[in-house]
C-alpha cells in the first residue's frame, strides 16, 4: 500500500500556548488573558490560542490516514523547540515532505517513522510538532493497510505485549474548579488532579496555599470517594517550589516531607517542583532531593518534565536515577516512534513513566496516544486534550475499550 497524495489543513488545538518566561517575569493576569509583552521568540502575546496542522495521507485505495501536528503549552522553554506556527512550515511540507511521502510504501511503520523523524532540511530536523503529526499519520496508514488497530501494529513491530485492560489515567483539572475535582473522584480516576501552579506567588506565603490545597484534595476523596478508592494525588508545580526556596534544598525537602503527610493516606506525586537553568543542574537537584526525602522517610514521588524532553533525555534521567517517574511528553519527543521506545526503555530499566503530552493537542492525537499506551504499558497516561478532564477521560477510555473489544473479538 502506497501514499498517492498528501493534504494539509491548519486548525485549532485543545488549549493555549503560554510564554512562561514572561508570565513569571512581568505578566499580569486579566481573566484568561495575561497582560504584558512576551519574552520568548515567536509569541505575539503571553497567552495565545494554540494551533495545529492536520496531515492527511491519501492512500492508493482512497482511504485517509490522519495525524495532527501540535506543540506543548509552554513551548520554547527548557530546551524545547520554538512555538509551532503552522503557516511557517507549510512551504517545506508542500515541497520536501510531500515529495518524501508521495509513493512511499506504508506496509511497515517503524522504519518509515524513524526515517521521517531523522529527516533534515537545510541541516536541521523538522520541528518536533511536524514529526509528531507526520508519524501519527504514518502509523494510521500502516494500520489501515494491515487492517489492524494501531496498537496491534506497534506491538507486532516493537515486540511488546498488548495490554488487556485500559491504562490508568491522570485526570487533568483546573485548580480552582472544585466541581471538576468531584467529577473525577466520582469517575474514580487513578491519578488526580494534575492542577498546575505556575507562579511562586500562587503557592502563598511559605507555600501555605499549596499545603491547604493538598489537604483539601485528600479530605474530599475521603468524604465522597467510593469505598476502597485510593487514587494517587499528582500536582504539576512548574518549578514554583524552587522559585520559593531557592538553593535551600534542605528546607524544600522539609516542606515536601510535611506535604506528604497532608496527602495521607494517598500517595503524593510532584512534577517539576524545581526547574533548573540547565539539564545537568536539573539532574543534580532531583538526585539531591531524592536523597534528602529518603533521609526523612518521606515517600514523595518526583516526576521529571522540563529538561527531559527527548528520547535521549529520558534515557539520561533514567540511567542517572534522577527521578521516580518521567513524563513522556509526546509532542516534545517528535516522532511517536520515540515515545514508544521511551516507554519500553523505562520499563526495561526500572523507571516508572507517565505517557503524557499536553492540553494543547487534539482528540485525534489523544486517541493515537491511547493506542501507544495499550501497546507499551506506561504506569499511567495524562488526559488530553484540554484541561476539562471529563472529555479527556471519555476520549482515552473509550478508545482503549473499543480497541480491546476489537482485539478480543478477533482472538
In this prediction, what percent of the chain has a pLDDT beyond 90? 96
For 264-296, how does the pLDDT look when each residue is reduced to its tens digit (9 = 90+)?
Answer: 999 999 999 999 999 999 999 999 999 999 999
For 320-330, how does the pLDDT look when each residue is reduced to its tens digit (9 = 90+)?
Answer: 999 999 999 99
Residue 138: is its pLDDT beyond 90?
yes
Domain ranges of the chain: 3-158, 169-410
Any idea what DSSP says for residue 2? B
Taking every pair of Cα atoms in the chain, the longest distance, rounded to a whole number of angstroms, is 63
Q: Is beta strand 64-69 parallel, antiparallel or unpaired with respect to 47-59?
A: antiparallel
pLDDT-derived band of residue 388, with 50, 70 and 90 as boundaries? confident
pTM of the entire structure?
Answer: 0.96
For 41-93, how does the pLDDT look when each residue is reduced to its tens digit (9 = 90+)?
Answer: 999 999 999 999 999 999 999 999 999 999 999 998 777 899 999 999 999 99
> 363-376 and 128-146 helices cross at what angle (nearest 10)?
70
Do residues 133 and 68 lie in contact, with contact meaning Cβ atoms separated by under 8 Å?
yes
3-state helix, strand, coil in the chain (%, to 5): 45, 20, 35
Q: Which of 247, 246, 215, 248 is nearest to 233 (CA)?
A: 215
pLDDT for res 17:
96
Residue 310: is its pLDDT beyond 90?
yes
What average pLDDT does range 38-43 have in this prediction?
Answer: 95
CATH topology of domain 3-158: Enolase-like; domain 1 (3.30.390)
What average pLDDT does range 336-349 have in this prediction?
Answer: 98
d(CA 37, CA 48): 12
Active site amino acids? 329
Q: Which residues of 138-153 are buried (b: 16+ CB within 10 A; e: fewer)?
A: bbbbbbbbbebbbbbb
pLDDT-derived band of residue 308, with 50, 70 and 90 as boundaries? very high
Which CATH code fits 169-410?
3.20.20.120
d(CA 308, CA 311): 8
Residue 391: is its pLDDT beyond 80?
yes
pLDDT for res 80:
87
pLDDT for res 177:
94
Residue 351: is its pLDDT beyond 90?
yes
Residue 238: is its pLDDT beyond 90?
yes
pLDDT for res 78:
74
d(CA 407, CA 217): 38
> Does 3-158 match 169-410 in CATH topology?
no
* 312 class by beta-carbon count within 10 Å (0-12 exposed, 13-18 middle, 19+ buried): exposed
Average pLDDT, the chain: 97
**C-alpha cell belonging to residue 375:** 501497546
Amino acid at each position: 500500500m502506497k501514499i498517492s497524495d498528501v493534504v494539509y489543513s491548519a486548525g485549532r488545538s485543545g488549549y493555549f500556548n503560554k510564554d512562561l518566561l514572561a508570565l513569571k517575569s512581568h505578566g499580569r493576569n486579566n481573566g484568561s488573558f495575561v497582560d504584558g509583552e512576551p519574552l520568548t521568540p515567536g509569541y505575539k502575546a503571553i497567552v495565545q490560542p494554540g494551533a495545529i496542522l492536520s496531515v492527511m495521507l491519501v492512500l492508493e485505495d482512497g482511504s485517509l490516514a490522519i495525524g495532527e501536528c501540535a506543540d506543548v503549552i509552554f513551548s520554547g522553554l527548557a530546551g524545547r523547540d520554538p512555538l509551532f506556527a503552522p503557516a511557517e512550515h507549510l512551504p517545506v511540507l508542500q515541497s520536501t515532505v510531500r515529495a518524501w511521502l508521495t509513493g512511499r510504501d506504508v506496509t511497515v511503520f517503524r522504519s518509515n517513522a524513524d526515517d521521517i523523524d531523522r529527516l533534515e532540511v537545510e541541516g536541521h530536523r523538522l520541528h518536533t510538532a511536524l514529526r509528531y503529526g507526520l508519524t501519527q499519520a504514518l502509523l494510521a496508514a500502516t494500520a489501515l493497510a494491515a487492517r489492524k488497530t494501531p496498537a496491534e501494529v506497534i506491538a507486532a513491530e516493537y515486540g511488546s505485549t498488548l495490554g488487556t485492560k485500559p491504562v490508568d489515567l491522570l485526570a487533568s483539572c483546573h485548580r480552582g474548579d472544585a466541581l471538576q475535582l468531584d467529577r473525577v473522584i466520582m469517575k474514580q480516576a487513578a491519578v488526580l488532579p494534575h492542577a498546575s501552579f505556575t507562579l511562586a506567588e500562587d503557592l502563598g506565603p511559605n507555600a501555605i496555599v499549596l499545603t491547604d490545597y493538598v489537604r483539601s484534595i485528600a479530605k474530599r476523596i475521603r468524604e465522597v470517594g467510593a469505598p476502597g478508592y485510593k487514587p494517587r494525588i499528582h500536582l504539576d508545580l512548574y518549578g514554583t517550589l524552587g522559585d520559593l526556596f531557592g538553593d535551600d534544598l534542605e528546607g524544600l525537602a522539609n516542606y515536601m516531607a510535611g506535604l506528604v503527610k497532608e496527602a495521607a493516606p494517598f500517595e503524593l506525586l510532584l512534577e517539576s517542583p524545581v526547574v533548573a537553568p540547565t539539564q545537568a543542574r536539573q539532574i543534580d537537584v532531583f538526585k539531591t532531593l531524592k536523597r534528602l526525602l529518603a533521609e526523612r522517610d518521606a515517600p514523595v514521588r518526583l516526576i521529571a518534565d522540563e529538561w527531559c524532553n527527548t528520547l535521549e533525555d529520558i534515557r539520561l534521567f533514567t540511567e542517572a536515577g534522577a527521578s521516580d517517574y518521567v513524563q513522556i511528553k509526546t509532542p516534545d519527543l517528535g516522532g511517536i516512534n520515540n515515545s514508544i521506545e521511551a516507554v519500553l526503555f523505562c520499563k526495561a530499566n526500572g523507571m516508572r513513566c507517565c505517557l503524557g503530552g499536553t492540553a494543547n493537542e487534539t482528540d485525534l492525537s489523544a486517541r493515537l496516544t491511547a493506542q501507544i499506551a495499550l501497546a507499551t504499558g506506561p504506569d499511567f497516561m495524562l488526559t488530553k486534550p484540554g484541561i476539562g478532564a471529563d472529555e479527556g477521560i471519555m476520549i482515552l477510555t473509550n478508545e482503549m475499550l473499543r480497541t480491546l473489544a476489537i482485539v478480543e473479538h478477533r482472538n
